Amino acid sequence: MITKPKGCYDVIDKESLKLKKINRYIDYYCEFYNYDFIRTPIFEARELFHRTVGDDTDIVTKETYDFQDRSNRELTLRPEGTAGVVRSFIENKMYGNNLPRKLYYNGTMYRYERPGNGRNREFTQFGVEILGSNDVAVDVEVISFAYRLFEELGFKDLNVHINNLGSKEDRESYKKALKEYLKPYINDLCEDCKKRYETNPLRILDCKVDKDSEILKKVPNILEYQSEESKKRFQKVLEYLEYLDVDYEVDSKLVRGLDYYDYTVFEIVSSEEVLGSASTIAAGGRYNDLVEKLGGPSTPCMGFACGIERIMLALDKIEIQEKRPLDCYILYVNEEEKIKAITLAQDLRCSGVSVDYDTTGRSLKSQFKEADRNHAQLLVLLNSEDLQKGLISVKDNLTKEEVKIDENEIIDYIVSNG
C-alpha cells in the first residue's frame, strides 16, 4: 500500500467539516474588512525566498523543499505566503493606484520540519497583507482583525505578544549593544547561534535551543535602543489597541523567524492545552522595506499569517455543526424513472435545493436508508405509472405525509416545502 508522505495528512470526515467552517469564516470576515482574495503559485523561483525570508533563517537554511524542473530551473515549494504576494504586487504593478491594497491568501505551505503536534510538512496558512500604508491604524487593524476572527471561531484565552523592532538604524544600534553583551558568552551559545552572532545576531533571541538560558534572559532591551520617533509610533500602536479592547503584552524579545520585519511585530498565542508548544496560532508584522528590496517602489506594508492546522487542533473542543441535512432525496427503480431523477435533480439544484439520488444500483429499501443517512427532509418517489399521468409523489420524511404533485409544479412545491 502507498501511504501519505511523512508530515502530510488527509482532511476527511469531521476534520473536513471543521476546515470548511474555518474557511467560511475567513471568507466572510475578509469581505467585511475589505480584503481581496489572491492566489499565487505553490512554487516560486528559489531566489525569491532567499531574498525575502532571509539567507540565514531556519526556514531557508533547513526547511525548504528545493527542486529543479526538467529545464533546470531552481524552484522552491513556498514555505510562507508573503514573498509570493509581494512578488505578485510588483509584477502586476498593483502599486500604481488604489493604495493601500488589501489582500488575503489561504493555501498550503511546505517546510521540512520534524512533524509533531501542530507542526506538519505540508500545512495551511491563511494570511492578510495591507500594502501601501504606514499608518498605525493599519498595524492595529491587522492585529485586531486576527484577534476578533479567532474569538469568533471560539478561542477564549487569547493573548497578543507585541514588540517594536524599530527602523533599520534602531536595529543597527541594538545589534551593536547585543553583540557587546553576548561577546563573553559566545562559546555557551548553540552552534547555530554562534553563526548567527556574526550573520544576524537579532535572530539569537528567536533561538528555540537557547531561549530559556540565563544568558538570553538578561539581554539588553531592544525598546531602549530606539529613536524618539520609533518609540512614539509604538506607543500609538499600543494606545489604539487599547481603544479596540485587544489584550496585549509587550515582549521585548519577540523578533520573529523571518528577516523582513521592522517596527511592529506580533504573535497571537492561545492557552488551549491541546496546542502544547505549538501555542502560537498567528504571527506577523510590518515589512516596510521588502517591496523595494524585491525591485518595486518603496511601499510600507503590514500583514500576518496563521496556521490553520493549529486552529483545527484547538477547535477540537468547540462544537462543530453537523453536516447540513439534504433538502431532498430522489428514489427510483427503472430506467424511465432514472432519467427523470437525473433531470429533476439538476433542475432542483439550479433552484437552490440540495438533492441527491442513488448511483450504485441500490434496492428501493436501501435507497430509503440512504435518504435517512443524509437526513433528507423530503423524499421524491418516482414511479412510471404516476409519471405517465404527469404526477410525482413527494413524502415528508419526518411526518411521513405523502402527496401527489403535478409534474409542472414539482419544483415550486419542493422549493417552498423543502
**313 vs 328, beta carbon nearer ligand ATP:** 313
User: How far is residue 362's CA from residue 372's CA, in Å, rounded to a whole number?
Assistant: 14
Q: Which is nearer to ligand ATP, 128 or 306 (CB)?
A: 306
Cell digits for 219? 539581554
Burial class (CB in 10 A: 0-12, 13-18, 19+), 11: middle
Residue of the chain from 86, 162, 182, 305 that contacts ligand ATP (CB under 6 A) = 305
Taking the C-alpha atoms of residue 98 and residue 77, their distance in angstroms, rounded to an integer, is 31
Residue 123 interacts with ligand ATP (CB under 6 A): yes or no: yes
Is 163 one of the binding residues for ligand ATP (CB under 6 A)?
no
Q: Which residues have a Cβ under 8 Å from the Cβ of 331 and sit 6 or more positions away?
A: 341, 357, 358, 364, 367, 368, 371, 379, 380, 381, 382
Burial of 94 (0-12, 13-18, 19+ CB in 10 A): buried
Q: Which of 143, 283, 291, 314 binds ligand ATP (CB under 6 A)?
A: 283
Among 40, 52, 64, 125, the residue binding ligand ATP under the rule CB under 6 A is: 125
User: By C-beta, is 111 or 196 nearer to ligand ATP?
Assistant: 111
The burial of 134, by beta-carbon neighbours within 10 Å (0-12 exposed, 13-18 middle, 19 or more buried), is given as middle
Nearer to ligand ATP, 252 or 417 (CB): 252
Q: Which residue has the cell 409519471?
A: 387
Write the interaction track for ligand ATP spanning residues 310-329; mark x where CB under 6 A is met and - where it is not: x-------------------
Nearby residues of 339 by Cβ (< 8 Å), 6 or more positions away: none
The stretch among 16-24, 138-146, 179-187, 301-309 that binds ligand ATP (CB under 6 A) is 301-309
What character string, x for contact with ligand ATP (CB under 6 A) and - otherwise, covers 259-278? -------------------x
Residue type, 40: T
Which of 111, 133, 114 minimizes the C-alpha distance to 123? 111
367 binding ligand ATP? (CB under 6 A): no
Name the residue among 23, 223, 261 with its Cα closest to residue 142: 261
Q: Is 113 in the site for ligand ATP (CB under 6 A)?
A: yes
- Asked if 281 is part of the footprint of ligand ATP (rule: CB under 6 A), the reply reads yes
Q: Is 154 in the site for ligand ATP (CB under 6 A)?
A: no
Binding segment for ligand ATP (CB under 6 A), chosen from 82-90, 195-203, 299-307, 372-380, is: 299-307
The grid cell for 290 is 521588502
Closest separation between CB of residue 35 and ligand ATP, Å? 18
Output the nine-digit C-alpha cell for 343.
Answer: 433531470
Q: For ligand ATP, which residue has the nearest CB?
A: 307
Residue from 111, 196, 203, 286 that binds ligand ATP (CB under 6 A)?
A: 111
The residues binding ligand ATP (CB under 6 A) are 80, 111, 113, 118-120, 123, 125, 257, 278, 280-283, 305-307, 309-310
